[in-house]
Amino acid sequence: MIRKKILLLGDFGVGKTSLIRRYIDNTFDDRYLTTIGVKISKKILEIRRIECELIIWDIEGSTPIKKIPKSYMFGAHGAIFVADCNREATIKDLAEHIETFLTVNPKAKYVIAYNKSDLLSAEQKADFPLEENAFLTSAKEGENVNRLFSTLAEEIIQ
């Protein structure tokens, strides 16, 4: 079985930990749970008949971008950059998260999650500008969460 390290990056409170919990357990907990240090979760999935274990790294969300330890970034095959689709500042910060990550891992693949889509109206959703590798997601309702992770895994395995 092949193993791939992926990580989640984005501002505090955008839903990184919630997306992982939704993907791993398929549950969503309204209680706030602070991630202490780095938490590593695993999920096995099959991509074009290849079994792949995703090793998913989640860091304490309040850590400033520049202070994220190299050990967190190092050796990652891919990343999910997360913003809150209702908070412009978190969307603006994506560029810096992406640049920092690609400096450490220039060949890694990535996808973008504009999370908390459950808080958008149908019109706002329809009008939301999305890059090719981006998804509107909801950790709360599950929308596009599996697609987010499996698209990244497919990109990595290609």
Give residues in contact with ligand G3D (CB under 6 A).
10, 12-18, 30, 32, 61, 115-116, 118-119, 138-140
| Distance in Å, CB of 30 to ligand G3D, minimum | 6
Each residue 97-136 as x (binds Mg ion by CB under 5 A) or -, in order, gives ----------------------------------------
CA-nearest of 106, 22, 107 to 58 is 22
CB 117 within 8 A of CB 125: yes
Nearer to ligand G3D, 51 or 124 (CB): 124
Contacts of 68 (CB under 8 A, 6+ apart): 9, 59, 100
- Output the smallest distance, CB 46 to Mg ion, in A: 28
Identify whether the C-beta of residue 42 lies closer than 8 Å to the C-beta of residue 53: yes
**Nearest Cα residue to 139 out of 72, 97, 85, 78:** 85
Minimum CB distance to ligand G3D smaller for 47 or for 55: 55
Contact residues: Mg ion, CB under 5 A: 16-17, 35, 61
